[in-house]
Amino acid sequence: MGMISPGAVRVMRSKHRGHRSTHTTQQTSGMASEADVEEEDVSATAENVPDEILMWEKDALERLWEEIPLHGYLGELQDQVCEGPLLPNREFELPYFRCETDCLMFPGARMGFTFEARQVRIMQQALEQPPPLTGLLVVGSGSAPVQHPDPGPARQSPYGCIVCIERRREGAASGIFRALQRCMVLAKPGDYQAQPCRSVLPLPDDVCVPREVAEGLTPWHPSLFAFNRGEDLLAERALELAQRLVPRGIRGVRVGDPASYIANWLANNMPISWIDQVKMFTAQTTSERLEIAAEALGRMGAVRCARCGHRLERNVQLVELSSDGITHRFVNPHCMHIPVIFMMAERPSTGWNGPLGSGLHSWLPGYGWLTTACMGCHLMLGWVFVPMHGQYPHKIWAIMRDHVGLTSGR
């Protein structure tokens, strides 16, 4: 991932700081002086705060989630790969942005860093505070990321940014960053709403942004995160529709692959019409391509002739015979490039009592080929492969992709 700078993130004020030693209230010879109480407070705070990660109490977290408004900040937009909060163990390309010289913020990310102050005044001042580092907005340049411990089942907050400081040593701090950005989910699955705000809303003192940082930032809601999540849902939907047409399974692509790869795979393999292929090719975004593919795949049902619309043999299914995918591209002895799709019967039987096909230049070893044509307009559709010996499944159709269409069976 290269050099990564930590984001502008928030540390909640730990309730450990509110604990005082019982010795504070003990008086032996009258009221203790104000200076003595303050000195005892500092020592008690340092004693009660462990070196481990500061633990949030439930009421403090709930209050934090309620108080952080729907907004973020955006300066110079870049792309950074990091873990998304809505899908565990999945990666998204999320934006990060620069404020002034070395201030960065990662919305919608949870990642581990080791960072150091590099001539950044806010960071230097923060690191001079005694532990625990409370009320700190972390800014500064970062080094290569370190593997952070498993945080366990974290509550997926749709709000803002928080950070847990682990420990502080000689001018450097090591922490686990949890920056979770709100994303409004509508009632319809796959629909996301990202509303850019027009002004930075005021925050409580506990989670406020230092004025020096806020002045150099522009309010923004990270629609890119919702956009990427929408692409994933569209890709899953389109792939689900494709798998219904290929009941024996698809090996060339699977859920979890990048949305752009799934869109390109569907366009190259599924028998989508030439018009829809052109629309997918000219689409500006991956989401548009996936929407076109999903709409086309949703209309597919019966196998029909592309010229006259005559329905071909019933009870046949698309089949993926190799890792090349659904569509195979062959070259015949006359150097003609022929894209074909393979189909088989839903319950293929074995043996073949019909005419033997020709084994010359057969694409499938052990099979002979015969030509097949539409019964309506006699357009040559492709070839049917029949076993020449053995107990191979009979009848494997190799249909020229441009000569058929999969349309609604109604």
pLDDT in tens, 81-130: 233 233 333 333 333 333 333 333 333 333 232 233 233 344 344 444 44
Q: Which domain holds residue 217?
A: 9-221
Indicate whether 297 pLDDT > 60.
yes
Q: Quick check: is 309 in a domain? A: no
- Which residue(s) pair with 113 in the sheet? 175
Same domain as 19, residue 126: yes
Task: Please provide the average confidence, as pLDDT, over all residues in the chain.
Answer: 53
Indicate whether 377 pLDDT > 80.
yes
Same domain as 246, residue 388: no
Mean pLDDT in residue range 262-289:
82
Q: Quick check: is 362 in a domain? A: yes
Q: Quick check: is 34 in a domain? A: yes
Mean pLDDT in residue range 215-235:
50
Place of tokens 């049917």: 384
Q: Quick check: is 259 in a domain? A: yes
pLDDT score, position 305: 81
pLDDT score, position 309: 77
Number of alpha helices (DSSP H) and beta strands (DSSP E) in the chain: 8, 20
Same domain as 244, residue 171: no
Position 25 confidence tier, pLDDT thresholds 50, 70, 90: very low
Same domain as 266, residue 353: no
Report the SS3 class of residue 205: helix
Same domain as 173, residue 65: yes
pLDDT score, position 407: 56
Same domain as 197, residue 145: yes
pLDDT score, position 406: 61
Same domain as 84, residue 123: yes
pLDDT score, position 354: 56
Write out the two tokens for 228.
């990427």
Q: Quick check: is 232 in a domain? A: no
Q: Quick check: is 226 in a domain? A: no
Q: Amino acid identity, residue 207?
A: V
Position 313 confidence tier, pLDDT thresholds 50, 70, 90: low
pLDDT score, position 323: 65
Report the SS3 class of residue 351: coil
Alpha carbon distance 320, 314 (integer Å): 19
Nearest to 221 by CA among 197, 190, 193: 197
Q: What is the pTM of this model?
A: 0.41
Indicate whether 236 pLDDT > 60.
yes
Q: Quick check: is 216 in a domain? A: yes
Same domain as 370, residue 331: yes
Mean pLDDT in residue range 141-162:
29
Residue 353 sits in a domain of what CATH number? Answer: 2.170.150.20
Same domain as 378, residue 251: no
pLDDT score, position 400: 84
Same domain as 389, residue 294: no
Highest mean pLDDT among 13-22, 73-82, 161-170, 239-248: 239-248
Same domain as 168, residue 284: no
Alpha carbon distance 367, 297 (integer Å): 31
Phi–psi pair at 379, nearest 5 degrees: -70, 130
Same domain as 268, residue 127: no
Q: How many Cα atoms within 13 Å fall on the side-chain side of residue 66?
A: 6
Indicate whether 281 pLDDT > 80.
yes
Q: How many Cα atoms within 13 Å fall on the side-chain side of residue 116?
A: 7
Count of structural domains, the chain: 3
Q: Quick check: is 361 in a domain? A: yes
